[in-house]
Amino acid sequence: MRCPYCAAENTQVKDSRPTEDGVAIRRRRGCVVCGGRFTTFERVQLRELVVVKRSGKREMFDRDKLHRSVAIATRKREVDEEVIDRMISGIVRQLESAGESEVTAAHIGDLVMDALKEIDDVAYVRFASVYKNFSEARDFEDFVAELAKTVSERANHHEAIDDADDEGRAEA
């Protein structure tokens, strides 16, 4: 592993441990040339994925790029970094286990949208504004109105389940 500080190729692993979600190995490393310390992560990669953009251009899937776009959507929101990492790991697992070596950017965007919708409504709207290319305030209004309708339906559904549970306990 090359040192990010001095580019020396001789670094030593000081400590290795699994990440909390168990999908990667975290390694603390030290450079024998400059003494710099840094962390690397090792993850299983089932297959090389190629992303097909809307323009037809193809590029290698970049987990870090996905992480950056989600980080922008969740910036200044109270979303734990571990939740984001688990979400991204889940999306990557879905993509890799689908059996296809090529995946569309639209499919990745849909997976991110679905995941963000469950994590944080504001991050969901932020991501959607870029992903769906909102161009005017009306686009936001329509999207948020649809989101409010979905949230309301979800709340009514959970309320109905709670009522049914309460009735079941009362009968018992």
User: What digits encode the pLDDT tens for the residues 85-102?
Assistant: 889 989 998 998 888 889
Q: What is the mean pLDDT of residues 136-151?
A: 82
User: What digits encode the pLDDT tens for the residues 58-72?
Assistant: 999 999 999 999 999
Q: What is the pTM of this model?
A: 0.63
Predicted confidence at residue 57, as pLDDT, reads: 96
Which range of 43-47, 139-143, 157-161 scores highest in mean pLDDT? It is 139-143
What b/e string do you get for 90-129 counting C-beta neighbours within 10 Å, with b at 16 or more? ebbeebbeeeeeebebebbbebbeebbbebbbebbbbbbe
Between the two ends of the chain, the Cα-to-Cα distance in Å is 63
Predicted confidence at residue 165, as pLDDT, reads: 58
